[in-house]
Structure 1
Amino acid sequence: MEKIKVGILTNTHGLRGEVKVKITSDFWEERFAKNAVLYIDVDGRTKELCVVNARLHKGMLIVKFKDYDDINQVEHWKGNALYIFKEQLHELNEDEAYYHEMMNARVQDIDGNEIGTVVELIETGANLVLRVRGEKREFLIPFVKAFVTMFDKEKKIMQVTMMEGL
């Protein structure tokens, strides 16, 4: 089964088993909702985790998992990825895409010239921003229809309209 990374456990928070998570997924409110099931690979095996609660704090999520009530139970998880399985994803509309589908997509201008590759997705609150790495530099492109005119999920090719200054 294919794994989809939804977060990276960066640190513990307090003494009662809460952890800090860097979000790497779209729909984070759904992924980290109460009773949502996530997975982590630790000590050579996969653990199933049930979310008790999650809240935003200084750009990170603070997450509490069921049956993990002490810092000593979660401290060795630092640096590990939290994930779901592809089968847990819901269908999207035709003009929508999941983050994992956009990562490493080739980016072209409207004439088909290669611009670079999507290396990071940044949530700004207003809209998603793509960090694109080209041969000589990196640049940011807002993921809005004015800039991103087409995305082929199967071929992992994104077409963008380059504005002056980009």
Structure 2
Amino acid sequence: MKQIKIGVLVNTHGLKGEVKVKPMTDFPDIRFQKGNTINIQYQDKLIPVAIKHVREQKDLLLLTFEEYDDINQVEPFKGSVLSIDESQLHELEEDEAYYFELQDCEVYDETDHLIGTVCEVIETGANAVLRVRGEREYLIPYVKAFVTDFDAQTKRITVKMVEGL
């Protein structure tokens, strides 16, 4: 099953198995709920873990996992990617998209001219911004004023180009 990256386990915290996680999802409150099962990608293995406790600290989350109550058990996981199975994704509204769906999409203007390919999705807080590389590089806000169509199946985005974009 395809894995979707939702965060990175950046460090341990204290001696009782708590870990610091940098969330990399628009839905940290959903993905990191108490009782949810997520995967630790460690040495080419997927280790499923159930979230026992979660709390926020600045821009990080502090998590504990069921059956992991000692720093020595979680220390090896530092730097590991946290993921979920693609089947755990929930349906989005019609005009929304997951970042992994936007990555590597071809971007066209309204006259069907290829502008380039999405090489990065940047989270700004207010909205996502697509970094598009083609003949030159563009930063295109992922909002209805600019993005007129997105087709996840064909990996195609149509945008309205405006002066100064």
Q: Shorter-chain TM-score category?
A: 0.7 to 0.9
Q: Would you say how many aligned residue pairs link Structure 1 and Structure 2?
A: 165
- Counterpart of 1:102 in structure 2 is 102
TM-score (norm 2): 0.84
Whole-Å Cα distance in 2 between the matches of residues 132 and 54 of structure 1?
A: 36
What CA distance in whole angstroms lies between the structure 2 residues aligned with 1:53 and 1:147? 40
Residues 151-166 of structure 1: pairs in structure 2 closer than 5 A: 151-166=150-165
Gaps of 5+ in 2: none
Aligned to 2:4, the other structure's residue is in SS state strand
Partner Cα separation in structure 1 for residue 52 and residue 135 of structure 2: 44
Sequence identity of aligned pairs in percent? 53
Contact 1:106 1:158 in 2 (8 A): yes
**Residues 1:6 and 2:9 are matched in the alignment:** no
Measured after TM superposition, the shift of residue 53 of structure 1 is 3.2
- Secondary structure, counterpart of 1:107 in structure 2: strand
Distance (whole Å) between structure 2 residues aligned to residue 55 and residue 130 of structure 1: 30
Letter in 2 for 1:143: Y
The residue aligned with 2:115 is 115
SS in 1 for 2:75: helix
Contact kept, 8 Å, 2:5 with 2:81, in 1: the verdict is yes
* SS of the residue 1:20 aligns to: strand
**Aligned ranges for residues 17-166 of structure 1 at < 5 Å?**
17-137=17-137, 139-166=138-165
Change (3 A) 1:17 1:90: same
Contact 2:41–2:83 (CA under 8 A) maintained in structure 1: no
Cα displacement (A) at 1:155: 0.6
Q: TM-score, normalised by structure 1?
A: 0.84
1:36-66 superposed Cα distances (whole Å, 9 cap, x missing partner): 1101232553211111233443433332222
Mean alpha-carbon deviation: is it higher for 36-45 or for 81-90? 36-45
**Aligned residue identity for 1:29:** D
- Mapped partners of 2:27, 2:145: distance in 1: 23
CA distance in 2, matches of 1:113, 1:41: 40
What whole-Å deviation, never above 9, does each CA across 1:57-76 have from its counterpart, x for those lacking one? 34333322222222221121
Cα pair 2:8 2:21 within 8 Å, conserved: yes
Residue 40 of structure 1: SS of its match in structure 2? strand
State the Cα distance separating 1:13 from its structure 2 match.
2.8
SS at match of 1:67: coil
The Cα shift of 1:110 comes to: 1.8
